[in-house]
Amino acid sequence: MFELWVPITIAAVVFQTVRTGLQKHLKAELTTSAVTYVRFLFGMPLALLYLASLIWTTGEPVPAISGKFLFLAFLAGVGQIVGTFLLVHLFSFRNFAVGTTYTKTEAVQTALIGLAFFGQTMSAAGFLAVVVSVAGVMTISIAHGQASWRGFLTGWTNRIALWGIVSGTGFAVAAVGARAASLSLGAKGFLMPAAVTLVWVSSMQLAMMTVYMLWRERGQIAAIFRNLRFSFLVGLTGVAGSICWFNAMTLENAAYVRTLGQIELILSLVTSYVVFKERSTRYEIIGMAMIVVGIVILLLFR
């Protein structure tokens, strides 16, 4: 239960929860694309600084880059952009807690994508943990629909739910791609390959988003710097979370890491209550309990 990837993942969740709250604040001032761009604009230089400090303090050589690594890093970068864009867009339609709920199908999607395309197997208990946690996420969806099995099933056909699911797919692709990219470097340990992967992924994301912003939303770049404090904090908490995510996923199966990451929903509910004065329904609470059960299975029996 106390393997290194566990506290690293919890730290990632904390940083991610703070970053998501900051992004929700920025959404009132910037477009969805600009809020997405902020994460990479300020995060990439910080990721590069992190890698430089790691090289200086450890003296480890930077592993050689292959074509396979670049493809996987690109895949992870695109997946994270899609996931982040749609997550930010969801803020316009759901409260803070439920706005992140639909994306949480990423855990089971990560398991399926990892198995189908990368041969990343899971134990029976591990897969059960993923399923129970995702069932908890689905239960939460009832809170804003019809309180019946019919409502439970048809709730996934509306536009908002589909955006959330696709957002989860983006994050799942990012998770599996990042782990595969890091492991493809063949380096010893986990800090250096995770850091190198983060820098390459962040660089590709920054390049792609910069081209888009200059092409379609040039005026939003000035708006970003008018909101410099919150923009920088999004980049800072974003890269801190990414460092933790990439380290955890280098150490452990990405599906397990993402399943443990479901505790973000619990932090989201607390944040919704304390900061945004939003109340949770009984279905959300039941769903949270199921997520906790899934995480316990994961940590004790996988």
Q: Would you list the DSSP string of 93-144?
A: TS-HHHHTTGGGGHHHHHHHHHHHHH-----HHHHHHHHHHHHHHHHHHHTT
SS3 per residue for 45-87: HHHHHHHHHHHHHHCCCCCCCCHHHHHHHHHHHHHHHHHHHHH
Q: What pLDDT does 99 receive? A: 52
Please, which pLDDT band fits residue 196 given cuts at 50, 70 and 90? very high
Rounded to 5 degrees, φ, ψ at 190 are -130, -20
What mean pLDDT is predicted for residues 124-141? 82
Structure tokens at 188: 């010893």
Sign of the dihedral defined by the CA atoms of residues 49, 50, 56, 60, in that order: negative
Over residues 103-111, mean pLDDT: 84
Rounded to whole angstroms, the Cα distance separating 145 from 281 reads: 12
Task: Kindly list the domain boundaries of the chain, sorted by start residue.
Answer: 5-301
Q: Mean of the pLDDT values across residues 230-245?
A: 95
Q: 151 pLDDT exceeds 90? A: no
Q: What is the pLDDT of residue 101?
A: 62
Q: Computed over its alpha carbons, how large is the radius of gyration of the chain? A: 18
b vs e for 133-171, b when ≥16 Cβ sit within 10 Å of the residue's Cβ? bbbbbbbbbbbbbeeeeeebeebeeeebbebbbbbbbbb
Question: What is the rounded CA–CA span in Å between residue 146 and residue 136?
Answer: 16
> What average pLDDT score do residues 99-108 get?
72
2-50: pLDDT as tens digits: 689 999 999 999 998 889 889 888 988 999 899 999 999 999 999 999 9
Q: What local confidence, expressed as pLDDT, does residue 154 receive?
A: 60
Task: Extract the tokens encoding 122.
Answer: 């899971």
Query: 173 pLDDT band (50/70/90 cuts)?
Result: very high
Predicted local distance difference test score (pLDDT) of residue 193:
96
- Please give the mean pLDDT across all residues of the chain: 85
Residue 257's pLDDT is what?
A: 93
Cβ neighbours of 211 (radius 10 Å): 10
Give the pLDDT of residue 86: 86
Q: What pLDDT, in 10s, does the model give residues 286-297?
A: 877 888 888 888
Query: Distance (Å, rounded) from C-alpha 187 to C-alpha 184?
Result: 8
- 250 pLDDT above the threshold of 70: yes
**pLDDT of 1 higher than 50:** no
Looking up tokens 């409260």 gives: 95
pLDDT in tens, 65-86: 999 999 999 999 999 999 988 8
Is 239 a residue whose pLDDT tops 80? yes
For position 262, what pLDDT does the model report?
Answer: 82
269 sits in the region (left: phi over 0; alpha: psi -120 to 50; else beta) called alpha
pLDDT score at 146? 42
- pTM (predicted TM-score): 0.87
Listed as own residue / partner, the contacts of 189-193 with beta carbons closer than 8 Å and 24 or more positions apart are 189/60, 190/247, 190/250, 190/251, 191/54, 191/58, 191/60, 191/247, 192/54, 192/58, 192/60, 192/62, 192/63, 193/63, 193/250
| pLDDT for res 147 | 44
pLDDT at 24: 83
